[in-house]
Amino acid sequence: MVKLLGKNYKNLNSDNYKMKKFFITLIVTVSVLALLVNFVGNILLEESSRKALNYIDYYASDYGLKIKGLDFREASISSVNSVGWKGIFGAFEFKEYGIPNRLSISSVDLNFHSTSLAQVVARGVQIRPENSPKPNGSLGESIRGGKYLIRNFRMTFPMDIFNPEEGLQTLASEMRQFMLDEKNSKLLLEGQGASNISLDGEAEFFTSGKYFKVRMTTKKVGRETKIVLHKEDVRRLSPLFEKNLTDAEIGVIANYPLRAPFLLFAKEYAEAESRIALSTNPSSPEDAHRHVLWSYTLTKKFGAKFAKLVTDAHEKGDTGNSEQERKRDLHNNAVGIDFAQRGIEESKIYGLVLRSPNVRR
């Protein structure tokens, strides 16, 4: 009896050993296969991502973008429904702005919530505008655009995994409209989940010889989503200028964060140039010079419509001016816009301020 039990015990141990060995072998095999699949998948993802970069470079101009040297350090499959890229860098330029920007992103993840809905999550985004020449290049000076730091960015948008090219084209078009402060398209207004855009970060601007940080976020305006600056942070910049920012001006700057560096520069530039002219010519019409040059500079950069939006904002609310002074300033702003639209060189603006019958002094 004892011998029989001993024999059965040995057989049981042997069976357990074989079972353990089988499971260990199975686990190791599955792990190796998973690693192999992941390794091959990562290679395929990297190859397809390189092709996608070529696609982006080729078609970027269709969306008003110039892209240079866009690349990434690593591509990987994060899970069954997520892929990611790390160490993204390059340079881009919106044709509407004409200011090159250096771009770096710590990581980007593309998550598929279903076969028709995806979400982009970007972390550690830095956009640093390169120094841009002033309107009169002969001055040899530049605008220091500061930088934008976006800690987290999320955007959900329709994307068919069986037709990703169409989804990527839609994403590129929507991102361009979103970043350029244009009215968001029907997709962002009504598309499935597409209005779910959020970011938090800060902008750093250089003005009056100093750098200032302004918080940046997104807000819903009706059914639209916009990138905005915190108005109270913008308000802190007001004492830096000879003429304080009005509430309406603060609103414009806050609603157009990508244009903010140039808006601040144009105001500071017009004040400085009119002040210098007055120091060398006591009879120089400083106020008229400032308004004409300011609106001229804005028009050369952004066009007449936006220049009027900005300069009109300066005349709204409690400005400390009389009604007659307000009308004079609005008139001279319009003159500056007209000079820019007629293609008059900046070097001739001051002479026209002194002699043109259209300028109210």
Question: Where are the extended beta strands (E) located within the chain?
Answer: 65-71, 74-79, 82-94, 101-112, 117-129, 132-133, 142-143, 147-158, 197-207, 210-221, 224-229
Taking each helix axis from N to C terminus, what angle separates 304-314 and 247-255, rounded to the nearest 10 degrees?
140
> How high is the mean pLDDT in each 10-residue block of the chain (361 residues)?
49 52 49 47 70 74 77 83 87 69 88 81 85 44 65 81 68 64 43 60 79 85 79 90 88 88 88 93 95 95 93 86 91 96 94 94 89
Q: Which long-range contacts (CB under 8 A, 24 or more apart) does 210-218 make?
A: 210/240, 211/146, 212/236, 212/237, 214/257, 214/260, 216/148, 216/150, 216/257
List Cβ neighbours of 320 (8 Å cut-off, separation of 6 or more).
none
The closest alpha carbon to 66, from 105, 98, 106, 104, belongs to 98
CA triple 88-111-221, angle to 5 deg: 85
| Cβ proximity of 180 and 237 under 8 Å | no
**What is the predicted pLDDT for the residue at 158?**
74
Instruction: Give the domain ranges of the chain.
Output: 13-229, 242-361
pLDDT score for 334? 97
Give the model's pLDDT for residue 249.
93
Task: Note the pLDDT of residue 187.
Answer: 39
Question: Residue 289 corresponds to which amino acid?
Answer: H
Model pLDDT, residue 346? 93
Q: pLDDT at position 345, please?
A: 94
pLDDT at position 335 is 96
What pLDDT does residue 95 have?
63
Task: Output the CA angle 243-360-352, nearest 5 degrees.
Answer: 95
